[in-house]
Amino acid sequence: MLEPQKTHNPTGRLEAFSDGVFSIVITLLVFNIQVPRNLAEGQTLWQALLDSWPTELAFLIGFMLVGIMWVNHHNIFKLIGQTDHLLMVFNALLLLTIALVPFTTAVLAEYIRTSEALTATLVYNGLGVVVAVAFNIVWRYAAHQRRLIKAEVDQRIVDQISSNYRFGPLMYLAACALTLLSPALGIAVNIGLAIFFALPLNTELFGGD
């Protein structure tokens, strides 16, 4: 009987399943936004909308982060030509961490203006550490000795991604440390890291769209 981890298959089904999870996560983020009801005496709808800025800001940040995670996932799977049992397991664990984003986003929105803002931001940035570690596991498993990498992919692009991902968990840990100084600073660093990971790679180094 074939050992599962030695059976290689195309990535199409894995990517389709992953895209579905990303879509659901994005949809769940929107559910945290509520239409203002039962306005206080003398309060206008505009004032109520402004007063709910933590929820709206958390949604925008969460949407941006999940979108960038999807872009990164899409980019690495343009380089990965096949899957095996372990890659599917590691990818499922990555999706598990991403599925928690709506929860941590809701916690952040609910408590950012309270005395529990520090804890809420640590939970939010802490998930960033976990997601970064999960991305590293998926990528490094596929890229180790070019185990599942397409033959036409230039080694320089593989090395570039490996280098970028190496610092991901450490940078998110730094964001957690800065959160201890200021929750707002921790959130700002998290956004900055998302922008960093959104920067395009030098696509001239490899084939594909």
Strands (E), 5-164: none
% of the chain exceeding 70 in pLDDT:
91
Give burial (CB, 10 Å; 0-12/13-18/19+) of 116: middle
pLDDT for position 198: 73
**Residue range 185-196, pLDDT digits in tens:** 998 888 888 787
Residue 18 CB neighbour total at 10 angstroms: 20
Round the average pLDDT of the chain to a whole number and report it.
Answer: 86
Domain ranges of the chain: 11-32+44-202
Average pLDDT over residues 126-148: 94
Give burial (CB, 10 Å; 0-12/13-18/19+) of 110: middle
Residue 133 CB neighbour total at 10 angstroms: 16
Q: With contact defined as beta carbons under 8 Å apart, do 77 and 11 qualify?
A: yes
pLDDT for position 168: 86
Q: With contact defined as beta carbons under 8 Å apart, do 126 and 100 qualify?
A: no
Residue that wins the pLDDT comparison between 5 and 141: 141
Cα 130 from Cα 179, distance rounded (Å): 16
% of the chain exceeding 90 in pLDDT:
52
- The answer to whether residue 56 scores a pLDDT higher than 90 is no
**Residue range 16-41, pLDDT digits in tens:** 999 999 999 999 998 877 777 777 77
**pTM of structure:** 0.84
